[in-house]
Amino acid sequence: MQLVFATNNLNKIKEVQALMPQHIKLLSLKDIGCFEDLPETQNSIKGNAIQKAEFIKNHYGYDCFADDTGLEVDALNGEPGIYSARYAGEQRNANDNMNTLLSALKDNPNRKAHFKTVIALEINNQQQVFTGICEGEITNSKQGENGFGYDPIFKPNGYQKTFAEMDLNLKNSIGHRGKAVSQLIAFLNS
């Protein structure tokens, strides 16, 4: 089975392909000749995931799935949320985003946060939605070299390491994207 993963983020593709059974081959947007930015104009993570998946299905005709992920920080009323990738501006720079978030939290003792991933699947003219959440907290400084995005400042509950200090297998087994992808795989295998 071939499925388009509607993202240009090579880190996401690598993470998700590592979880997929061998009989499911992921195609990237580049593989299908899609070089445009996918629309993300909805006011929720779920809405953006659905919008991206519907765009690929409607414009390119492929069975596909799209994800949208946001980091939601309690003390910041759920920010950065749908703006996680561009929290510090349109340049979408992970270091700038982390610095902006750490500055916004400053000395706030409430560091509770969670990552939320929603996957929208368009297959056989049906739509399915899967959600994964990982609860944790924002650290006071960046720690670790692995992962991407906010991984160096997010420490999941029950662990003394940030996502950026974990290997990919551990991150996938406890993380938001891994949880959502597991639901996707279970559906595809049913």
Just list the catalytic residues.
Answer: 68
- Give the side-chain half-sphere CA count within 13 A for 122: 22
Q: What is the bridge-based pairing of β-strands 112-123 and 126-138?
A: antiparallel
Residue 144 and residue 152 in contact, taking contact as beta carbons nearer than 8 Å: yes
Residue 110, classed as helix, strand or coil, is: coil
**Angle between the 176-189 and 10-19 helix axes, to the nearest 10 degrees?**
50
Give CA–CA dist 141/35, Å, rounded: 35
Q: ∠ CA 32-15-152 to the nearest 5 degrees?
A: 130
Give CA–CA dist 43/104, Å, rounded: 22
**Within 10 A of 9 (CB to CB), how many other CB atoms are there?**
17
Residue 159, classed as helix, strand or coil, is: coil
